[in-house]
């Protein structure tokens, strides 16, 4: 039962994050979800920061709990243990970024907190790819192909988002940056939900005990 509760946390985490990203911009007049990043919602002095930070902390806590659920579900599937480390590791870094290294608003001179924000976010992406790649090896071909497709989508979306990064730093126009980033976010959130459902339906594979010993 505890394992199932932890796995359900994965589904809840995606719902919390998506609801936060979709609804919180209403608190910021002039914010554009199409052209602005999610990180700007928790930026220093952003009007949405007081609302979004507690929700993102809750999201991270739910994903870390989900990571424990994935670990408990691994049985003899070593790949699932790596996936659990990737899931939890990404959110530990995300929690640090949210609480201690928010970016500045556009047009404000960048400082160390902006550098750390970018560095830890990139490290979190590596953990995310670890989770996706390891998870792909844990089930049959359908989930494997789905995971690989998700990885390819994230790489393309990440490239398109990265092309706008210099414009973000100089307060230039980024008309589609928010779209590319959100495509990546929602693709990953959906993958987490699919993984959680698959594990809830899949019995844990226990090592066999030799009673003759």
- Reference 171, options 118, 103, 124; nearest CA is 103
What average pLDDT does the segment 92-105 reach? 95
Number of domains in the chain: 1
Helices (H), the chain: 2-23, 49-73, 78-100, 112-136, 141-163, 165-169, 177-201
Q: What is the mean pLDDT of the chain?
A: 91
pLDDT band at 205 (very low <50, low <70, confident <90, very high): low
Residue 165 has pLDDT above 90, yes or no: no
Per-residue pLDDT tens digits for 61-97: 999 999 999 999 988 889 999 999 999 999 999 999 9
Q: Does any domain span residue 97?
A: yes
Q: Which residues contact 62 (CB under 8 A, 6 or more apart)?
A: 9, 10, 12, 13, 16
Q: Does any domain span residue 206?
A: no
What average pLDDT does the segment 133-151 reach? 91
What average pLDDT does the segment 1-12 reach? 93
CB 45 within 8 A of CB 72: no
Q: Does any domain span residue 6?
A: yes
Q: Which residues of 115-136 are buried (b: 16+ CB within 10 A; e: fewer)?
A: ebbbebbeebbebbbbbbbbbb
Instruction: Give the tokens for residue 106.
Output: 């556009």
Is the model more confident about 122 or about 204?
122
Instruction: Give the tokens for residue 101.
Output: 């290294």
Q: Does any domain span residue 197?
A: yes
Residue 55 has pLDDT above 80, yes or no: yes
Q: Does any domain span residue 31?
A: yes
Which residues on adjacent β-strands are paired with residue 104? Answer: 44
CB 9 within 8 A of CB 20: no
Q: Does any domain span residue 210?
A: no
What average pLDDT does the segment 117-138 reach? 93
Residue 212 has pLDDT above 70, yes or no: no
pLDDT at 210: 43
Q: Does any domain span residue 211?
A: no
What is the span of the domain harbouring residue 94?
2-201
What average pLDDT does the segment 17-24 reach? 96
Per-residue pLDDT tens digits for 33-47: 999 999 999 999 999
Q: Does any domain span residue 173?
A: yes
C-alpha to C-alpha distance for 10 and 23, rounded to whole angstroms: 20
Residue 169 has pLDDT above 80, yes or no: no
pLDDT band at 204 (very low <50, low <70, confident <90, very high): low
């Amino acid at each position: 039962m505890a394992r199932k509760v932890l796995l359900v946390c994965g589904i809840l985490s995606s719902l919390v994050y998506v609801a936060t990203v979709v609804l919180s911009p209403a608190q910021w007049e002039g914010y554009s979800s199409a052209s602005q990043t999610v990180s700007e919602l928790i930026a220093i002095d952003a009007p949405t920061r007081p609302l979004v930070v507690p929700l993102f902390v809750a999201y991270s806590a739910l994903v870390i709990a989900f990571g424990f659920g994935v670990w408990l579900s691994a049985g003899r599937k070593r790949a699932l243990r790596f996936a659990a480390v990737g899931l939890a590791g990404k959110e530990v870094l995300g929690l640090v970024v949210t609480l201690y290294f928010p970016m500045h608003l556009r047009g404000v001179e960048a400082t160390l907190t902006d550098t750390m924000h970018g560095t830890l976010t990139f490290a979190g992406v590596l953990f995310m790819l670890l989770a996706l790649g390891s998870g792909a090896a844990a089930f049959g071909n359908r989930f494997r192909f789905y995971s690989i497709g998700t990885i390819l989508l994230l790489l393309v979306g990440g490239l398109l988002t990265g092309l706008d990064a210099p414009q973000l730093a100089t307060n230039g126009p980024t008309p589609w940056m928010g779209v590319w980033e959100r495509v990546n976010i929602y693709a990953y959130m959906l993958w987490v939900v699919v993984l959680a459902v698959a594990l809830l339906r899949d019995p844990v594979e226990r090592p066999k005990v030799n009673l003759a010993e």
